[in-house]
């Protein structure tokens, strides 16, 4: 069954969608959309460095994304405004990445594959890495769900319950680094933020509790992967962007339905 590239692509996409769903909810709740962009840009630098040093791309991009996450946390604890820190780090990382790639004259690399993903070329090993990373992220977030949620609601409530909101933020940003790194193959650097944010934003229209929102986001992400891959096959369109297009259409449809319901009542 895993011999079929479409089956591997679907499984890979669903793996990413599952990890992205709960994480994407936190990105939306904490207004960290820019953060996921920044981590993705840092991952581009990771790709370039891994190619230069001939190490695994996933390993390289996880390392750089993790370094990025830790730096951002350290700088914000020292009092820098979050959007300034991200603006500086994200774009510098992308610029250094692109320059680094241009020096890699010896190796012919397909930049497009990293920018937009190459889900149809997912191998068995890739699949293992994606599901391993996704399982790690989902397990981490599930085990600290209440703590993460309390810290997201209010820093003081978290402290009063004996939690350290800075630690919870670190957990979220590290999870983001892992998710971004394993999602590069599936949707590419440019569209990772979309996989995080769009299903969660679409789920907001239907959910009454945080848990429901995460689960609905996972379902929407899964449907987007299956339908997007199918559409890419039928229309001979690029796979990663097609997945994001389906998610965006679902977002628009659900938004419209809830808007009409609100006007009706």
Partner 1 sequence: MNLVSIENLSVRYGANTVLRHVDLTVEPGEIVTIVGPNGSGKTSLLRAIIGATEPAEGQIKIKPGIRIGYAPQRLHFDSTLPITVERFMRLAERVRRQDCATALDAAGVPNLSQRQMSQLSVGQFQRVLLARALINRPEILLLDEATQGLDQPGSAAFYRQIETVRAETGCAVLMISHELHVVMSASDRVVCLNGHVCCEGTPAVVASAPEYRALFGTGTGGALALYRHDHDHDHEAAE
Locate 249 and state its tokens.
């259409």
143 is a site residue for partner 1 (CB under 8 A): no
Residue 119 phi, psi dihedral angles, 5° rounding: -65, -25
Contacts of 38 (CB under 8 A, 6+ apart): 68, 72, 86, 89, 90, 93
153 binds partner 1 (CB under 8 A): yes
16's CB contacts (< 8 A; 6+ apart) are 130, 134, 179, 182, 183, 186, 187, 195, 221, 225
The candidate with the shortest Cα–Cα distance to 128, out of 60, 196, 185, is 185
Binding mask 99-138 for partner 1 (x = CB under 8 A): ----------------------------------------
Letters for 200-229 (x = contact with partner 1 by CB under 8 A, - = none) are -x--x--xxxxxxx----------------
- Among 56, 92, 161, 261, the residue binding partner 1 under the rule CB under 8 A is 161
Give the interface segment with partner 1, choosing from 11-19, 26-34, 55-63, 125-133 (CB under 8 A). Answer: 26-34
Q: 108 or 208: whose CB is closer to partner 1?
A: 208
- Rounded to a whole number of angstroms, the minimum distance from the CB of residue 49 to partner 1 is 35
Using CB under 8 A, which of the segments 63-71, 95-103, 153-161, 245-253 binds partner 1? 153-161
Measured CA to CA, the distance from residue 147 to residue 141 in angstroms comes to: 9
Least distance CB 252 / partner 1 (angstroms): 17
Please work out the total of residues on this chain that contact partner 1, with binding judged by CB under 8 A: 25
Find the binder of partner 1 among 160, 237, 252, 256 (CB under 8 A): 160
Work out which of 2, 5, 7, 31 binds partner 1, going by CB under 8 A.
31
3-state secondary structure 60-94: HHHHHHHHHHHHHHHHHHCCCCHHHHHHHHHHHHH
Phi and psi at residue 178, in whole multiples of 5°? -65, -45
Query: How far apart, in whole angstroms, are the C-alpha atoms of residue 88 and residue 188?
Result: 22
Query: Using the rule CB under 8 A, is 7 a contact of partner 1?
Result: no
Residues at the site binding partner 1, with contacts judged by CB under 8 A: 28-29, 31, 79, 146, 149-150, 152-157, 159-161, 201, 204, 207-213
């Amino acid at each position: 069954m895993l011999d079929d590239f479409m089956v591997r692509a679907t499984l890979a996409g669903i793996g990413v969608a599952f990890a992205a769903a709960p994480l994407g909810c936190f990105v939306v709740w904490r207004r960290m959309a820019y953060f996921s962009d920044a981590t993705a840009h840092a991952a581009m630098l990771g790709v370039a460095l891994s190619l230069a040093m001939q190490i695994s791309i996933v390993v390289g991009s996880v390392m750089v994304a993790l370094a990025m996450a830790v730096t951002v946390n350290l700088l914000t604890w020292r009092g820098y405004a979050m959007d300034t820190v991200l603006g500086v780090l994200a774009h510098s990382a992308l610029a250094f990445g692109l320059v680094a790639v241009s020096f890699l004259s010896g190796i012919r690399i397909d930049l497009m594959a990293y920018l937009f993903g190459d889900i149809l070329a997912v191998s068995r090993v890739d699949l293992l890495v994606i599901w391993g990373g996704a399982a790690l992220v989902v397990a981490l977030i599930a085990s600290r769900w209440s703590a993460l949620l309390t810290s997201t609601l209010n820093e003081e409530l978290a402290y009063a319950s004996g939690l350290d909101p800075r630690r919870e933020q670190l957990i979220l940003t590290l999870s983001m680094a892992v998710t971004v790194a394993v999602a590069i193959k599936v949707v590419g650097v440019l569209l990772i933020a979309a996989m995080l944010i769009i299903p969660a934003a679409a789920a907001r229209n239907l959910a009454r509790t945080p848990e429901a929102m995460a689960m609905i986001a996972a379902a929407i992400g899964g449907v987007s992967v299956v339908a997007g891959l199918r559409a890419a096959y039928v229309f001979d369109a690029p796979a990663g962007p097609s997945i994001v297009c389906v998610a965006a259409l679902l977002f628009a449809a659900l938004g419209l339905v809830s808007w009409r319901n609100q006007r009706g009542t």
